A and B are shown apart, each in its own frame.
Chain A
Amino acid sequence: MEHFLSMGGYGPYIWSAYGFGAVVALWNIWSALHLQREALERARRRLAMGRSEENDHGTR
């Protein structure tokens, strides 16, 4: 196991690269779901208000 983790001395570089890749992949999943939920929530609120106000600039 220790032999595997050390990766012939390149462990810190290899695990940092894989770790960063994993973090970015997870961020992507979170961020996509967040955007979708936020947009859905805003659409719901707008429908509830009976689309009277046009003050929402979309914030994008």
Chain B
Amino acid sequence: MGKDVGTWTWFHKLASPPHFYRIAGRMIPWFAVPAAILIVASTYGGLVMAPADYQQKDAFRIIYVHVPAAWLSLMCYMTMASAAAVGLIWRIKLAHALAAASAPIGASFTLVTLVAGSLWGKPMWGTWWTWDARLTSELILLFLYLGYMALRSAFDDLTRADRASAVLALVGVVNVPIIHFSVVWWNSLHQGSTVLRKGGPAMPAEMLWPLLVGALGYTFLYAALACIRVRGEVLIRERNASWLKELEAA
């Protein structure tokens, strides 16, 4: 018993399903409200306040959907894979629950990234799709999410589903740096980084802020959605636990 006792009680309390279930429920509005405000602000900033691009004219406004969705698709995958690793190593059910909760969110926003990118590609590149490194690796990300979900549904036993899908999630992490650096490593048709680059963002402030606000808004949206979904996943995993009775009373 040392001075760490306080920290560990806190951690164990948080990691206990009934406590986590309650905390996650209480956190939802704290994520959902900022998400709504930030996404509305970003949309207004991107569609109305930002000036048209000198090269791409108004078509560039699609980035305010495309880039935050792409950010979410990668951030969500890293969260899912990290949670899966924690679940595998320390056998924490809650971590598996978070990984399982993240997959459908990530998959849907990967689809948004691809569709919005395609809708930008048609007028700008003259094609809906090309087998370019960036586009292909993002498509593989979608398949990883879908494969993860398909693998989960192939098991009747939830514990085995959690463990098998966690391995797949971890293997798929290889794809994340490939997506990010694809525009550097290969001669890609996709433009290079505009925001995360050496020497700071290559974009005027009135174009940049809606993009950053949008990425932050999508992050909050992910957090809100994950809180709701993870509660469902916890309930599914804890369906025989006695604390569910207290839930009934509440």
Q: Which residues of A are in contact with B by a Cβ distance under 8 Å?
A: 4, 7-10, 13-14, 16-18, 20-21, 24-25, 27-29, 31-33, 35-40, 42-44, 46-47, 51, 56-58, 60
Contact = CB atoms under 8 A, between A and B. Distances in A.
Given A33-B228, A35-B228, 11 more contacts: A14-B61, A18-B47, A20-B65, A20-B119, A32-B229, A36-B228, A39-B233, A42-B235, A44-B248, A47-B245, A58-B239
Interface stretch (B102-110, B175-183, B186-194, B200-208): B102-110
Contacts of B240: 46, 51
Interface in B19-39: 39
A41 to B, nearest CB: 10
Q: What is the interface of chain A mostly: helix, strand, loop, or mixed?
A: helix
A58 B247 contact: no
Given A17-B115, A46-B239, A60 B153 contact: yes
B207 to A, nearest CB: 15
Given A43-B247, A58-B158, A21 B239 contact: no
Given A13-B59, A42-B239, A31 B156 contact: no
A8 B52 contact: yes
Interface residues of B, number: 46
A17 B62 contact: yes
B232 A25 contact: no
B245 to A, nearest CB: 6
Nearest to A57: B156
Interface of B: 39, 43, 47-48, 52, 57-59, 61-62, 65-66, 69, 104-105, 108-109, 111-112, 115-116, 119-120, 122-123, 152-153, 156, 158, 161, 221, 225, 228-229, 231-233, 235-236, 238-240, 244-245, 247-248
Contacts, number: 112
A18 to B, nearest CB: 6
B109 to A, nearest CB: 7
A45 to B, nearest CB: 10
Contacts of A7: 58-59, 61
Nearest to B57: A8
Q: What is the interface of chain B mostly: helix, strand, loop, or mixed?
A: helix
A16 B225 contact: no
A14 B231 contact: no
Given A24-B111, A28-B225, A46-B239, A18 B123 contact: no
A1 B145 CA distance: 40
A25 B239 CA distance: 29
Contact of A43 (B61, B228, B235): B235
A10 B58 CA distance: 7
B123 A60 contact: no
Nearest to A38: B232
Contacts of A37: 232
A58 B231 contact: no
